[in-house]
Amino acid sequence: MLVVMQAHATEEQVKEVCKRIEGFGLKAHPIPGSIRTAIGITGNSGAIDIGTLESLPGVVECIPVSKPYKLVSRDVKEEDTVVRIPIPSGEVTVGGKAIVMVAGPCAVESEAQVMAIAEQIAKTGVRLFRGGAYKPRTSPYSFQGLGEPGLKILAKVRERFGLGIVTEAIDNESLDLVEQYADVIQIGARNMQNFSLLKRAGRARKTVLLKRGMSATLDEFLMAAEYILSEGNYNVILCERGVRTFADHSRNTLDLTIVPAVKKRSHLPIVVDPSHGTGRRHKVLPLSLAAVAAGADGLLVEVHHEPDKALSDGMQSILPEEFRLLAEEVRQIAAVVHRTMN
Amino acid sequence: MLVVMQAHATEEQVKEVCKRIEGFGLKAHPIPGSIRTAIGITGNSGAIDIGTLESLPGVVECIPVSKPYKLVSRDVKEEDTVVRIPIPSGEVTVGGKAIVMVAGPCAVESEAQVMAIAEQIAKTGVRLFRGGAYKPRTSPYSFQGLGEPGLKILAKVRERFGLGIVTEAIDNESLDLVEQYADVIQIGARNMQNFSLLKRAGRARKTVLLKRGMSATLDEFLMAAEYILSEGNYNVILCERGVRTFADHSRNTLDLTIVPAVKKRSHLPIVVDPSHGTGRRHKVLPLSLAAVAAGADGLLVEVHHEPDKALSDGMQSILPEEFRLLAEEVRQIAAVVHRTMN
Amino acid sequence: MLVVMQAHATEEQVKEVCKRIEGFGLKAHPIPGSIRTAIGITGNSGAIDIGTLESLPGVVECIPVSKPYKLVSRDVKEEDTVVRIPIPSGEVTVGGKAIVMVAGPCAVESEAQVMAIAEQIAKTGVRLFRGGAYKPRTSPYSFQGLGEPGLKILAKVRERFGLGIVTEAIDNESLDLVEQYADVIQIGARNMQNFSLLKRAGRARKTVLLKRGMSATLDEFLMAAEYILSEGNYNVILCERGVRTFADHSRNTLDLTIVPAVKKRSHLPIVVDPSHGTGRRHKVLPLSLAAVAAGADGLLVEVHHEPDKALSDGMQSILPEEFRLLAEEVRQIAAVVHRTMN
Amino acid sequence: MLVVMQAHATEEQVKEVCKRIEGFGLKAHPIPGSIRTAIGITGNSGAIDIGTLESLPGVVECIPVSKPYKLVSRDVKEEDTVVRIPIPSGEVTVGGKAIVMVAGPCAVESEAQVMAIAEQIAKTGVRLFRGGAYKPRTSPYSFQGLGEPGLKILAKVRERFGLGIVTEAIDNESLDLVEQYADVIQIGARNMQNFSLLKRAGRARKTVLLKRGMSATLDEFLMAAEYILSEGNYNVILCERGVRTFADHSRNTLDLTIVPAVKKRSHLPIVVDPSHGTGRRHKVLPLSLAAVAAGADGLLVEVHHEPDKALSDGMQSILPEEFRLLAEEVRQIAAVVHRTMN
């Protein structure tokens, strides 16, 4: 924390701020400048809200300096985390040299639909299958997912095709079930700061895929992951899926600069969801390639064999044959950035 | 829904789109213009995602027309909803002529703290007390609230001062308890799209105060309320508390234009939280007055007797004596806009 | 400027950064903390881009501390600036006790239109008239304003009704003319960072009304004003007119928290434009009252006697009789916040 | 334009709206739905602001349907525009199969600096050189560029290395000079809606590179280009350089989804500036690759031989040897997306 004093702050006022800082059990370091004085603070345990210094006379503002996250930080662990996901047909790694592909429909609609799509996806060599049994929908009148029966359908996909399952939990109850049936527990963007759910996910023994909230800063995103790690679960994959801005030409604004930004601050792997990130089918291919070129560790892509009949997000789903093409081009981009495909 | 065709779309393409629309069991209304054709759609039940029309040849875009909310809409109920909250000392109404004031500390820290603040607030004539026993915090290492013991302290405030209690629930478990101890269940901004929690709140028999999410549009805000109403709970109060923008001179950007916008679309009452909305003590008074001038039905204000020692949000809390002044000026502003004070 | 080092930065790296800082002719102040070291910098003249320190080994980030503005800052001039505008019927002051009202049509369309509106506005006691002769329009095919003939019409309003004239300049050429005909030169939001125009306005001998850019931070807004002051023109009025956000229920998001924020940082007066700020007629009255309640020094309101026929921005214009009501309610709000009306 | 009526709007109200529409010389097409009526409008010339319909009784809102741009639209010209720029050593094309690279320092600081950088860039095979002689800077106290002497230095680069010159004009005066000395006239983000400058650029006989404004929507961006085309200059290259959002981990949020969005709506080429788009050196390489993977027609990259001493934007400049590596990887990405390098 750094306290910036006004240009005309008196020596008395500087002293008073220092005294207050020391009253918190911290150490004050005044730095007199040519125009104004700033006061550095060290020893901050994070437990005290010293921002209240801002209301003392002579103070302009308080600037936080230390980043509040610990376990997710590269400061604590320099080498990249490689998350290992055991699946029926072996093991999938995320965050190593290989790019991971996760594909499947937005929602589990029926066994027939899921099996048809899974069969085609399995053929492309992809090893993680996604599909929602619990769907957070803006409207209470929209399809809310099949619930546990949906999870059972996904378990059949797992068994028949050897694919690992990635599916979303929306509350503690559904997380209990998802943990049972799936290989990766997805926490959606709208729940990124559902701290009760994050803590529960931190106590799960499965990998967690954490989506960035619609208006989450990098710090908030990493702090949400910190909640999971702080409960003992270190197998966390971050996922950029677009943020909300004024721009109206895409459903969300896919923020690919967060990929190198995460890599600089944290050791956790990060994948990109270009389907939600763009919201339109014709943008999924170009932005998938862009994500991998930007350094993402993988992609989450919505694939539907009949997108026009999808119960949700049909507009952003691509066909299995389009996905095959996408996977092929991603493989080539991966090679340029010295990566392979899972 | 309106489908806009390209200027050079062929008659064939227009026909194909109409055919597809009718395939969904809907009715297509082509409107030939001088430059291009648009196709209106009626009969949409909302269950089908017809946005996939956008990928048909010749289509430029699909524009949603009907608003998806029903129960919260003025279309359905023209007159203002007046929420009635029974409290020990009588009844508080929200949404009628009287402006409602809700005041108290950000977090319940101890019985001594809460009692000290409540005593002073009770003296100002305010009848609803706020204070968090469950605190959603960005960091897992920040104070997370006292939990049920905190609710018990609030219950004592209720008993001793006759104040109604407004406090936040963060998951289904805490909502069970909050419903028992409090008069109004608050759903925080980070949980505005925690649909599982919204549904549970919809089954509660207490009034719900729903805060706007940090990047929620008006439609999403109203749809979140719709979740609660659709489960049978019609006692919902909306709350604007600032949204996230690029602006960095305040913690959030308080969006007061949403007040008349809500009034136009919905019959539900809306209050404003200038403490979270601005994040700084010196902005709380001016923005409180502004909120009431803009037509808000009430205010939620953080008051702390020792803001410098607050365990959370001290920077935005005001002193009880400042609150007294605020309440007095709010009373005068209320008179100008033909309102009274509760 | 503060340089934050990594937790595991070596002493060598800290020394290297200090050396580099001193190489810029500045002074380095290392502050060793329990987790990491931060390095304060003093003596920064602002001319050197020391942000490049961020790419040195061991550095996490560089945090700017000193605000770059000087002449507009309260640090330099503690008391409020009161801008005095001589008009035919006396003098209008902005930034003192009195709230200033500026009213008129968006665009000067014809002499008949302007005279009809001006007559009604003059009757309400308002003393500053607004109307655009040069209109920055998103489309080249929209009405671009009458140009100099429009200015001549405004000059007639000045003469006949004794009103001061506020009108926009969009480039150096139009500023030459506006300076001749008008009393206040308006710089529009889209030109807030047209630095060539700001410098020219700084050399003008008339008051400048500077609108906040659509995505301008407080610092950028004040720096734009600094451009004008730095050329010798100290008569600057700031104007909040709404910023661009994701919110789609209003044309712009009116950011009233900037009013107390400006008052804290700067001595310059600030007025609010609720017409552009909200973009809808039914929001103009509530937000006008809110702006004055929040501490604004005045209002800029679009008034049109036939808004349905306006060549631009009809949707946000109010009728003269609505304006009269608005002025009356503003007067009452002003009294509550210890202000008067001009 | 589509007018959406309230659910309980009377037949009278619908008729009144239709009458009003026809009063504008337009045609009304009522579309009765099961819940509400919508009214399509055709024949809109764009000259009339029919949004005022929104204030009529029974109207919920007016939704614009037709896009207002004409000359820039794919509706008008289906095939991609290929801009041809004659340079001393031949011709550079933008928008065809070849990816174009534009490299050079942010600002022209001295002849020695520019020559040193240009020599290295010329060696990489790049044929367009960038560098600013006029610098729009947030602060009046920052380096504002060398002006005409800077243009003369760029002319020497042109002569000695056969490179085409891309440089910014900030007002009509500087545009006159830039047109004389340079091959491509750059309009910066802050001037994207400086319509006076756009019109002047539309009368220039050199190619214009138009940067997207910091908070410009796709429509506004294309309309700004429309200003240039409408004056007769069809040689326009669009440039995405990041937009302003709440995200604070990069200087701007680079919005790569606009690349396929522009390609869908317009025939104009679009390049990406990853230096301003990210603001940090370590993000320039990954986002450059991402931009080309997303379908951009080229890149604008800041290169400086001594970034630590740069007078502006040193933090986002890369070294000539880093640029060589970047160009090599871009070449490989280009091949994957079936493009070549200029």
Give per-residue pLDDT as tens, C115-125. 999 999 999 99
**Touching check for C245 and chain A: CB below 8 Å?**
yes
Distance from CA of C291 to the nearest CA of B (A): 6
- Work out the pLDDT band at C165, boundaries 50, 70, 90: very high
Task: Give the A:D interface size as CB pairs under 8 Å.
Answer: 126
What are the pLDDT digits (tens) for B225-279? Answer: 999 999 999 999 999 999 999 999 999 999 999 999 999 999 999 999 999 878 7
Contact between D4 and B40 using a beta-carbon 8 Å cutoff = no
**Touching check for D315 and chain A: CB below 8 Å?**
no
Segment 160-179 of chain C within 8 Å of chain D by CB: 170-174
Per the model's pLDDT, the better-predicted residue between C2 and C19 turns out to be C19
SS3 category, B250: coil
Strand pairing class (B98-104; D37-42): unpaired
Mean pLDDT is lowest, of A99-113, C26-40, C170-184, D11-25, for: C26-40
User: D106, D301 in Cβ contact below 8 A?
Assistant: no
- Decide if pLDDT at D308 tops 90: no
Nearest chain D residue to B77 by CA distance is D8
Q: Which structure tokens are listed for C2? A: 């503060």
**Touching check for B260 and chain A: CB below 8 Å?**
no
Per the model's pLDDT, the better-predicted residue between C51 and B122 turns out to be B122
Q: pLDDT at position B47, please?
A: 47
Of C287, A299, C227, nearest to B296 by C-alpha is C287
Mean pLDDT is lowest, of A318-322, B289-293, C137-141, D332-336, for: C137-141
Task: Please state, in angstroms and rounded to a whole number, the distance separating the CA atoms of residues C136 and C149.
Answer: 17
Instruction: Sort out which chain D residues have CB atoms less than 8 A from C138's CB and list them.
Output: 68, 193, 219-220, 223
Task: Please state, in angstroms and rounded to a whole number, the distance separating the CA atoms of residues A59 and B328.
Answer: 29
The CA-based angle A176-A181-A187, given to 5 degrees, is: 60
Strand pairing class (D236-240; B90-94): unpaired
The CA-based angle C176-C182-C184, given to 5 degrees, is: 95
Q: pLDDT at position B317, please?
A: 87
User: D299, D288 in Cβ contact below 8 A?
Assistant: yes
Residue A55 DSSP label: G
**Of B3, B10, B26, B29, which to mutate for an interface test with D (greatest number of D Cβ within 10 Å)?**
B29
- Decide if pLDDT at D289 tops 60: yes
The arithmetic mean of pLDDT across residues B51-66, rounded, is 75
Contact between A171 and B136 using a beta-carbon 8 Å cutoff = no
Task: Please state, in angstroms and rounded to a whole number, the distance separating the CA atoms of residues D142 and D186.
Answer: 21
Burial A79-96 (b: 16+ CB within 10 A, else e): eebebebebeeeebebbb
Across the interface, of B40, B76, B78, the residue whose CB is closest to D38 is B40
Instruction: Sort out which chain C residues have CB atoms less than 8 A from A244's CB and list them.
Output: 246
Distance from CA of D164 to the nearest CA of C (A): 26
Q: pLDDT at position D223, please?
A: 96
Subunit partners of chain A (3 or more CB pairs within 8 A): B, C, D
The DSSP bridge partners found for residue A270 are: A238
Distance from CA of D166 to the nearest CA of B (A): 30
Q: pLDDT at position A65, please?
A: 66
The arithmetic mean of pLDDT across residues C102-112, rounded, is 96
Nearest chain B residue to D244 by CA distance is B246
Give the highest mean pLDDT range of B182-186, C19-23, C142-146. B182-186
Distance from CA of D34 to the nearest CA of B (A): 6
What are the pLDDT digits (tens) for D186-222? Answer: 999 999 999 999 999 999 999 999 999 999 999 999 9
Percent of chain D exceeding pLDDT 70 equals 96
Task: Please state, in angstroms and rounded to a whole number, the distance separating the CA atoms of residues D283 and A340.
Answer: 21
Q: Which structure tokens are listed for C110? A: 């014809």
**Touching check for A286 and chain D: CB below 8 Å?**
yes
**Touching check for A123 and chain C: CB below 8 Å?**
no
The CA-based angle C170-C176-C178, given to 5 degrees, is: 65
Q: pLDDT at position A51, please?
A: 63
Q: Letter for the amino acid at D22?
A: E
Nearest chain C residue to D134 by CA distance is C196
**Touching check for A308 and chain C: CB below 8 Å?**
no
Distance from CA of D311 to the nearest CA of C (A): 6
Q: Which residue has the tokens 């919902």?
A: B236
The CA-based angle A41-A45-A49, given to 5 degrees, is: 75
The arithmetic mean of pLDDT across residues C55-80, rounded, is 81
User: C285, C322 in Cβ contact below 8 A?
Assistant: yes
Run means of pLDDT, 10 residues per run, chain A, 342 residues: 82 89 83 78 62 78 73 90 96 97 96 96 96 92 92 98 97 96 98 97 97 96 96 97 95 96 96 89 93 98 86 81 95 96 78
| DSSP conformation letters of B76-122 | T--SPP-EEEEETTEEEEESSSEEEEEEE-SB---HHHHHHHHHHHH
SS3 category, C159: helix
- Work out the pLDDT band at B27, boundaries 50, 70, 90: confident
Q: pLDDT at position B51, please?
A: 64
Query: Phi and psi of C168, rounded to 5°?
Result: -90, 145
Taking the model in full, what pTM does it have? 0.90
* Consecutive H or E run containing A285: helix A281-293
Distance from CA of C223 to the nearest CA of A (A): 17
Instruction: Sort out which chain C residues have CB atoms less than 8 A from D49's CB and list them.
Output: 310-315
Instruction: Sort out which chain D residues have CB atoms less than 8 A from C199's CB and list them.
Output: 140
Q: Give the CA distances from residue C323 to residues C23, C270, C304, in Å, rounded to whole numbers and listed in that order.
A: 61, 21, 10
Query: At a CB cut-off of 8 Å and minimum separation 6, what does B48 contact?
Result: B24, B26
Q: Can you say how many angstroms the Cα of residue C22 is from the centroid of all Cα atoms in its chain?
A: 38
Q: Which structure tokens are listed for C32? A: 């060793």
The arithmetic mean of pLDDT across residues B163-188, rounded, is 97
Q: Letter for the amino acid at C72?
A: V
Contact between A76 and C29 using a beta-carbon 8 Å cutoff = no
Q: pLDDT at position A335, please?
A: 97
Task: Give the B:C interface size as CB pairs under 8 Å.
Answer: 127
Average pLDDT, chain D: 91
The arithmetic mean of pLDDT across residues B101-109, rounded, is 96
Q: pLDDT at position C254, please?
A: 97
Per the model's pLDDT, the better-predicted residue between C59 and B261 turns out to be B261
Strand pairing class (B298-302; B98-104): parallel
Task: Please state, in angstroms and rounded to a whole number, the distance separating the CA atoms of residues C171 and D159.
Answer: 34
Q: Please, which contacts does C183-189 make with residues 24 or more away whose CB atoms are closer than 8 Å?
A: C183/C85, C183/C86, C183/C87, C183/C128, C183/C158, C183/C207, C184/C85, C184/C128, C184/C208, C184/C209, C184/C237, C185/C209, C186/C130, C186/C211, C187/C211, C188/C136, C189/C213, C189/C214, C189/C241, C189/C276
**Touching check for D250 and chain C: CB below 8 Å?**
no
Q: Which structure tokens are listed for D330? A: 């871009």
Contact between B290 and C256 using a beta-carbon 8 Å cutoff = yes
Q: pLDDT at position A308, please?
A: 74
Contact between D65 and B4 using a beta-carbon 8 Å cutoff = yes
Task: Please state, in angstroms and rounded to a whole number, the distance separating the CA atoms of residues C40 and C44.
Answer: 11
**Of A246, A253, A267, which to mutate for an interface test with C (greatest number of C Cβ within 10 Å)?**
A246
Q: pLDDT at position C47, please?
A: 47
Task: Please state, in angstroms and rounded to a whole number, the distance separating the CA atoms of residues D292 and D299.
Answer: 8
SS3 category, C326: helix
Give the highest mean pLDDT range of A308-317, B139-148, C152-161. C152-161
**Touching check for C66 and chain D: CB below 8 Å?**
no
User: C31, A29 in Cβ contact below 8 A?
Assistant: yes
Across the interface, of C6, C32, C65, the residue whose CB is closest to A63 is C65
Q: pLDDT at position D65, please?
A: 66
Contact between B7 and D76 using a beta-carbon 8 Å cutoff = yes
Helices marked H in A105-257 — which ranges? 111-123, 148-161, 172-181, 195-202, 218-230
Query: Phi and psi of B142, rounded to 5°?
Result: -85, 160
Across the interface, of B136, B138, B171, the residue whose CB is closest to A172 is B171
Task: Give the C:D interface size as CB pairs under 8 Å.
Answer: 135
Q: pLDDT at position C76, please?
A: 83
* Consecutive H or E run containing A241: none
Task: Please state, in angstroms and rounded to a whole number, the distance separating the CA atoms of residues C163 and C181.
Answer: 12
Residue A11, classified by CB atoms within 10 Å of its CB into exposed (0-12), middle (13-18) or buried (19+), is exposed
Distance from CA of A322 to the nearest CA of C (A): 32
Query: At a CB cut-off of 8 Å and minimum separation 6, what does C328 contact?
Result: none
Q: pLDDT at position C51, please?
A: 64
- Decide if pLDDT at D47 tops 50: no
Of D24, D23, D16, nearest to D49 by C-alpha is D24
